[in-house]
Amino acid sequence: MKIDPHMIAQLTPDMTKDIAAFLVCLGALLWLYNEGRKAFKRQPPNEELGVQHSALSDRTSRNENSIRELYRRSEANGQALARLETETRLQNAQLCNMDAKLDRLIERKNRQQ
């Protein structure tokens, strides 16, 4: 491509301002394009994303199983705690009965003396 020297000589100062603005816009567009390509290259390929998805799915499954096991244990502990509370109430009731019997025996002994 050959540039005609007479055509360049016909450029006015107003025309050169427009060319400068055009070149600045073109440079900005090229810079944005280049940055976009860099960002696109930084993303992992689909195969790698699939592996990451599989790993996350496995991890989620393990966490769900752990939560189920913890829930099962907490239910078992809750049942055991309920049994202990019942036994404790029964023992407290027995102690109260024994305490009352002991008080009556002490009163009888005091009356006999």
- Give the separation between CA 75 and CA 69, rounded to whole angstroms: 10
CA angle in degrees (0–180, nearest 5) for 80-86-90: 145
Q: What share of the chain is helix, strand, coil (3-state, %, to 5)?
A: 90, 0, 10
3-state secondary structure of 8: helix
Could you tell me which residue, 66 or 21, shows the higher pLDDT?
Answer: 66
Q: Would you kindly state where each structural domain of the chain is located, as residue ranges? A: 49-113
pLDDT digits (tens, 9 = 90+) for 18-60: 777 888 899 999 999 999 888 878 766 667 777 788 888 999 9
Could you tell me which residue, 16 or 104, shows the higher pLDDT?
Answer: 104
Going by pLDDT thresholds of 50, 70 and 90, the confidence category of residue 67 is: very high
pLDDT of residue 3: 67
